[in-house]
Structure 1
Amino acid sequence: MALEEREVEGLQSLMTEVLNISKEQAGGSFLWFRGVCCDKYSLIPKLLRDGKEPEAVFEREARLLTRFRQRSMAYWPSGYPQNDWEHLFAMQHYGMPTRLLDWSENLFVAAYFALAEACRHAHENDCFPVVWCVDPVEWNRATPVLSEYGSTIQVLTTADDEIEPYRPDTKRKRNKTPIAVFGAHNSERIVAQRGTFFVWGNETKPLEEFAVDVPAKLWRIKLTGPREVLEKDLQSIGFGETMVFPELTYLAAELGRTEGWKE
């Protein structure tokens, strides 16, 4: 089974569970983490969530990239070079729709995102926050288009030839299966969040559906304890807003919370 379900009650048991998963992996492997507020949410990038066909997705991406490049120039340091990949990574971390799904190398960053905001939907009282785990090296090596390279394949970078079919402006036939990539740390948010990414190709289904055909595991760990207790525990170990958003707005929110301010 490619998708493995686990449940824990608190942060201590979450860390223990993740350490146990890590010990099961091959030497040299490591885990990435993604936190979501609802166990019913799928692993799919924002740009793909409205069910458009791949051609329409790439047309929309091209327009968004152009508009972001045009409007963001004044916000970047003078002379800073920006290619399409670098813009995509920045767009993702500032909330624009992309083909990227962000993950973190830090378990507690994922826990923060799983707990930071309560879900607002029809079944909000019938779901659990979740931390997803994946071994990105194992995933890439098991992906059909990369498996032929065997143990030489690691997490890809934007300089690797193997990523060419995933480039926004590629002239080659696009691959279907999402792959794990390291992105440019071109914003303070990405640095703070130890951000990493999966990038989608020419098929628009969720990662867990790809996992049926890719012999690499995904782990979905439900946090079943009371949300307010989990949030307080995370704050008790010093993991507040500015750990993931090193910005004045979040500093103000964090200081207000720690001083007991309530609206």
Structure 2
Amino acid sequence: MPGSPGLPIFPSVLEHRVKNWVELQDALFAGSWNESLRRFRPTLAFRGMPDSRHDLATSLNRRGGNYSRQEHVMLRAFRKYARGTSNPCESLWDWLSLAQHHGLPTRLLDWTFSPYVALHFLSEDPDLYGVDGVVWSVDYRETNRVLPRPLKAQLQEEGADVFSAEMLASVAGDLATFDRLTRHPFVLFFEPPSLDERIINQFALFSVMNDASARLDTFLEKQKRGVRRLIVPAHLKQEVRDKLDQANITERVLFPGLDGLSRWLRRYYNPRPPGAPDKTQ
């Protein structure tokens, strides 16, 4: 889930630098008690990134220039040439999810319901163990407060906090309609269709804004409520990685198939990074 490197500053976003594994666990699951359900059921989306300086630019944002204007052209071509695949797509949101899943630049951004999956993406690259990582978390109940009325009504009708592709299609069948729902910026989170085991195992969801050129970090900086950045210091990354491996949160599980197996083995048997601490305190 990495974004593009830069030097953004997030002065109004709640930021917390953890010191050790135990503090990290407490921070990841803070506020997860749901009093109405009497269960630990958080309403948080997580995104782990290996460098805390990475921003929340989408793949369209990172192209620069007027590339976002080509969004509909690329998606139209993708739908034309991908129809012979085995993935059934009924709505634009199915197609957009499939395109994002296979690397087409889109306005979508990858998130997960699982804090441990987020930690995996934070710690999967040993070459970046020398820099601090970050886990973003967003309470989608808070971002839902500023959704336009038709989208709020759809959530209420379904008794849901996040959307499905079908729910979105019932309100906006195309991106032009979606963008015209309101003039003010908003973000929503939706669960992609179960395209394959990778989507399922990563407990995935996507964020989408009503403007292809909009920046989510800029929006969240103004949102403030329910937004948090957990900084995982460089010295803690190796311990995080080792404990995730023990918990079976690995490429072999998150990327089912021979490619994921090879990625896991290549990293797992990688020599210990020079200067890595023997044990964190």
Q: Deviations over 1:129-188 (max 9, x none)?
A: 1111111122112x2535995993732233336984583253862542222222212122
Cross-structure match for 2:190: 181
Counterpart Cα distance in 2 of 1:22 and 1:221: 15
- Change in 2 beyond 3 A, CA 1:2/1:232: same
Matched, 1:128 2:132: yes
**TM norm structure 2:** 0.75
Letter in 2 for 1:245: F
State the percentage of identical aligned residues.
23
Deviates more, 1:211-220 or 1:170-179: 170-179
Matched, 1:220 2:229: yes
Deviates more, 1:186-195 or 1:104-113: 186-195
Cross-structure match for 2:19: 9
Q: Deviations over 1:5-37 (max 9, x none)?
A: 0112344332211222324x7746521111111
- RMSD between aligned residues: 3.2
Cross-structure match for 1:114: 122
- Partner SS state of residue 96, structure 1: coil
**How much does 1:212 deviate?**
3.7
Runs of 5+ consecutive residues of structure 2 not aligned to the other structure: 1-10, 272-281
**How much does 1:241 deviate?**
0.9
Cross-structure match for 1:47: 60
- Partner SS state of residue 89, structure 1: helix
- Change in 2 beyond 3 A, CA 1:203/1:115: same
**How much does 1:101 deviate?**
0.8
**How much does 1:193 deviate?**
0.6
Q: Give the count of matched residue pairs.
A: 250
Q: Deviations over 1:45-74 (max 9, x none)?
A: 111223445xx51x4222221232233333
Matches within 5 A, 1:1-263: 3-23=13-33, 27=36, 29-52=42-65, 57=68, 59-76=69-86, 80-118=88-126, 125=130, 127-141=131-145, 143=146, 145-146=148-149, 149=152, 152=156, 154-160=161-167, 164=171, 167-170=174-177, 173=180, 175=182, 176-202=185-211, 204-214=213-223, 216-224=225-233, 225-255=235-265, 260=269
- Partner SS state of residue 186, structure 2: coil
- Change in 2 beyond 3 A, CA 1:7/1:218: same
